[in-house]
Amino acid sequence: MLFHVRMDVHLPPDLDPATRDDLIAREKAYSQQLQRNGKWPQLWRIAGEYANFSILDTADNEELHRLLSGLPLFPYLDITVTPLATHPSKIAEDD
């Protein structure tokens, strides 16, 4: 199942810099592993915001929830999820 996911990051301004750096490094490693595994095929920064649009490809809602809640930044994220379905006018079946 494909999901369009918007993630907005809201780190506390008084967060210890070492803690912030650790969170961001762990987030990068976790998200890159999901990309390598094919679970996170698209990741786009939203220009001018600390936010992204992503496409995640999971077996079901439960897997999506598990992957998102495993994000090290999860406590600091506002997440909006939209399930996707193939559009009948789409030309390529494998995109």
In CATH, what number is assigned to the domain containing residue 36? 3.30.70.1060
> Distance between CA 8 and CA 26 in Å, rounded?
17
Supply the range of the domain harboring residue 34: 2-84
* In a domain? residue 74: yes
* pLDDT over 60 at 95, yes or no: no
pTM score, whole prediction: 0.90
Instruction: Kindly give the residue spans of alpha helices, DSSP state H, lying in 13-83.
Output: 17-36, 61-69
pLDDT reported for residue 57? 98
- pLDDT (tens digit per residue) in 31-48: 999 999 999 999 999 999
pLDDT reported for residue 94? 62
* In a domain? residue 90: no
- pLDDT (tens digit per residue) in 44-93: 999 999 999 999 999 999 999 999 999 999 999 999 999 999 999 999 76
Question: Count of domains in the chain?
Answer: 1
